[in-house]
Amino acid sequence: MKKFIFIMVLMSCFALMLSANYFTDNGLATSENTIMKKSDFVPTPRDRSMDPVRNPGSRNLLVEGFEGTTGMNLPTGWTKVGATGEQGWRTIENGESLPGVEDEWVSHDGVRALARGWQQSGSANWVFSSGFTLTAGSSIAISFWVQAPGYSSLGEWDDIEVKIGQTATAAGMASAPQVWSNVGTRIGDWTLITQSYTPTTAGTYYLAFHDLSATGTGIWLGIDDVFVGNEGPGIFLPPTNLTATGASMAVDLSWTAPAENGDNLAGYRIFRNNVAIVPDVSPTATTYHDSPLPNGVEVSYFVRAVYTMPAGVSDPTATVTATPVGGEFINNPPRNLTEISGDSKVTLSWQEPATHNGLLAGYQVYRNGALLTQIIATTGFTDVPLVNGVPYEYTVVAVYEFPAVTSAHTDPVVGTPEGSASGLHKPTNLTTPMTLPGSVTLSWDVPVYSSEGGTMMSHVTSEEWANAY
């Protein structure tokens, strides 16, 4: 009786473990260590820009963006089985078309990608990556961008699975672990997929992309920016040794490039007082001159490394501070303000301040002590329409963007428009373009406008007069 009870308890525990899914599937790690059915594999795009997930540089095992391919050729070391030509796996360039594709092709990044068109030859269409070496028990990160939008009028799309195995054949991959699948899920736009895998056996491995659509179904799909790399600390390595030195109205930064960055380093993103300075600086740069800055005000900085394929941003460097020192901030006013009075108008002109060490944004014009314009970038302005015979006083100030201040006013100038006292303007430029025996032809310009708002009833621009005898 005791043996019977003991056996029943063991069976109950075993059933409980099964119901709780206390297994992993072929080394594929999930966040909950549960068995993953094919129907569970759905796209899980995430913003990984600040989340370290993989290591660039010498730890890259496979990086393929398909940019070095031509025609429909696969990258070196990649192979495929199934349909050939446009119906099979092939590479494609932006602007090309695929059978069944509604719009011209656009890759995720760059100008080329891996693609599949209309499925006409069954589900035996595989493409295999070049090989990469894995160590037993050492986790790797796998990522790629995928798109399976289908054909909107038919409501169909391609189903795809991604596997990892040690044989680059359809038969060899049949029992290999599945990394991801979109079965039952349409992927309308490029989506980043990330997974991790821990091999139990050392050796050469391959990624396999398998179009699961049956003959005559599915429309098209795309794969781009495939990455396999070792996981571990120091993912998306940041710059090191950041220093900041105060200068006159400026701070000079210096840093050391990440020890391992391979070809993936796209640049550096510098943050001043926790706000990014735009644009990012070149991946070859290790210094930055930040100016103009106000003297005597402490400024903080940190720097992140920006990576591409896979895309991501490193952790920040340690924060450093510096205080610009040196001469006083110079925000001189504009120079040599002059005016030319005309008919119902005054035209102003001036020159840039003789010296300044701030970021000059433009100028503001004042008339009779009141602001007349918002910031303008030019060194001239015409005030129109004005009342003839009335004097107007003008000054101009320089506006600085950083620091945000304005200069003193220029010395004032006074302009007095001149023209018809009545405001009814006369014709101008009277000429005699043609004189013939017995006749004279006159020509003139129409008045431009009336400062009093009058309306010209009629006009002519030429007249020919001849003698009557």
What is the per-residue pLDDT across 379-416, written as a single tens digit (0 to 9) for each? 999 999 999 999 999 999 999 876 678 889 999 999 99
Average pLDDT rounded to a whole number, residues 34-60? 37
Question: In 3D, which of 398, 407, 404, 406 has the Cα closest to residue 362?
Answer: 398
**pTM of structure:** 0.46
Cα distance between the two ends of the chain: 150
CA dihedral 65, 67, 69, 70 (to 10 degrees): 140
The model's confidence at residue 37, banded by pLDDT at 50, 70 and 90, is: very low
pLDDT at 362 over 80: yes
Of residues 460 and 116, more confidence is placed in 116
Average pLDDT rounded to a whole number, residues 49-65? 57
Encode pLDDT of 318-359 as tens digits: 999 999 987 666 788 999 999 999 999 999 999 999 877 667
CA 440 to chain CA centroid, Å, is: 68
With a CB cutoff of 8 Å and minimum separation 6, the contacts of 92 are 72, 98, 105, 107, 112, 113, 114, 115, 222
CB 444 within 8 A of CB 431: yes
Question: Please, what's the b/e burial string for 384-397 (b: 16 or more CB within 10 A of its CB; e: otherwise)?
Answer: ebbebeeebebbbb
Q: What is the DSSP letter of 358?
A: S
The model's confidence at residue 287, banded by pLDDT at 50, 70 and 90, is: very high
CB 211 within 8 A of CB 148: no
Distance CA 84, CA 74 (A): 12
DSSP secondary structure string for all residues of 62-94: EEE-STT--TTPPPTT-EEES--GGGSSEEEET
Distance CA 202, CA 382 (A): 79
Encode pLDDT of 299-328 as tens digits: 999 999 988 766 678 889 999 999 998 766
Q: Which residues are paired to 224 by β-bridges?
A: 145
Residues counted in the chain: 469
**Helix (H) and strand (E) counts for the chain?**
2, 31
Q: What is the DSSP letter of 178?
A: E
Note the pLDDT of residue 143.
Answer: 87
Note the pLDDT of residue 453.
Answer: 45
Note the pLDDT of residue 47.
Answer: 38
CB 204 within 8 A of CB 44: no
Distance CA 468, CA 455 (A): 35
Percentage of the chain modeled with pLDDT above 90: 37
Note the pLDDT of residue 356.
Answer: 72
Q: CA–CA distance from 241 to each of 56, 286, 347 (Å)?
A: 19, 10, 56
Of residues 328 and 113, more confidence is placed in 113
Is-cis flag, bond preceding 292, omega within 30?
yes
Question: Please, what's the b/e burial string for 259-290 (b: 16 or more CB within 10 A of its CB; e: otherwise)?
Answer: eebbebbbbbbbbbeeeeeeebbebeebebeb
Distance CA 78, CA 436 (A): 89
Mean pLDDT score across all residues of the chain: 77
Average pLDDT rounded to a whole number, residues 244-262? 86
Percentage of the chain modeled with pLDDT above 70: 70
CA dihedral 442, 444, 450, 454 (to 10 degrees): 40
Percent of residues in the chain assigned helix, strand, coil, to nearest 5? 5, 40, 55
Note the pLDDT of residue 214.
Answer: 66
Of residues 9 and 196, more confidence is placed in 196
Note the pLDDT of residue 409.
Answer: 95
Of residues 153 and 226, more confidence is placed in 226
Of residues 175 and 154, more confidence is placed in 175
The model's confidence at residue 4, banded by pLDDT at 50, 70 and 90, is: very low
Distance CA 305, CA 30 (A): 29
Residue with tokens 């109205």: 249
**Phi, then psi, of 197 in degrees rounded to 5:** -145, 140
CB 407 within 8 A of CB 437: no
